[in-house]
C-alpha cells in the first residue's frame, strides 16, 4: 500500500497537481459520492439490491484521492489501515461488533 501512496505522490508532483489538503478532502468526498451514485442508481434506490454495481474506476478514484489526502497529512496509509484492522478486531473481541456505537 505504501508503494501506491508513493505513486500517487509522485504522480501529483510530476503533473503539478497542487492544492490544499482541504481541497483534497473535498475531492475524496466527491469521489466517494460517485461510488454512492453508482450503487444507488444501479440498485434502483434500494429496490433491487442484487443489481447493485460500482464501476471499478470509481473505486480507483477513491483510492487515489485517499492516498493523496494521507500523503498531504504525512500519514502512512498502510499503518493507518493496519491500526484500523486492529481496532475492529478488538471491538469484535470485546462486543461482537466492529462498529463504534450502537445500531438502531
- The residue ranges of every structural domain in the chain are 2-74
Provide the 3-class DSSP secondary structure of residue 104: coil
**How many angstroms separate the CA atoms of 87 and 94, rounded?**
11
Summarised one tens digit per residue, pLDDT across range 37-94 is 999 999 998 899 999 999 999 999 999 999 999 999 999 999 999 999 999 999 999 9
Cell of 75: 500519514
Summarised one tens digit per residue, pLDDT across range 11-25 is 999 999 999 999 999
Amino acid at each position: 500500500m505504501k508503494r501506491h501512496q508513493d505513486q500517487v505522490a509522485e504522480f501529483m508532483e510530476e503533473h503539478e497537481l497542487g492544492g490544499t489538503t482541504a481541497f483534497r478532502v473535498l475531492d475524496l468526498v466527491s469521489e466517494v459520492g460517485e461510488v454512492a451514485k453508482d450503487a444507488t442508481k444501479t440498485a434502483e434506490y434500494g429496490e433491487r439490491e442484487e443489481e447493485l454495481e460500482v464501476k471499478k474506476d470509481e473505486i480507483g478514484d477513491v483510492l487515489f484521492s485517499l492516498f493523496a489526502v494521507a500523503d498531504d497529512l504525512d500519514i502512512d496509509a498502510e499503518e493507518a489501515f493496519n491500526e484500523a484492522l486492529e481496532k475492529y478486531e478488538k471491538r469484535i473481541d470485546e462486543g461482537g461488533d466492529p462498529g463504534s456505537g450502537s445500531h438502531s
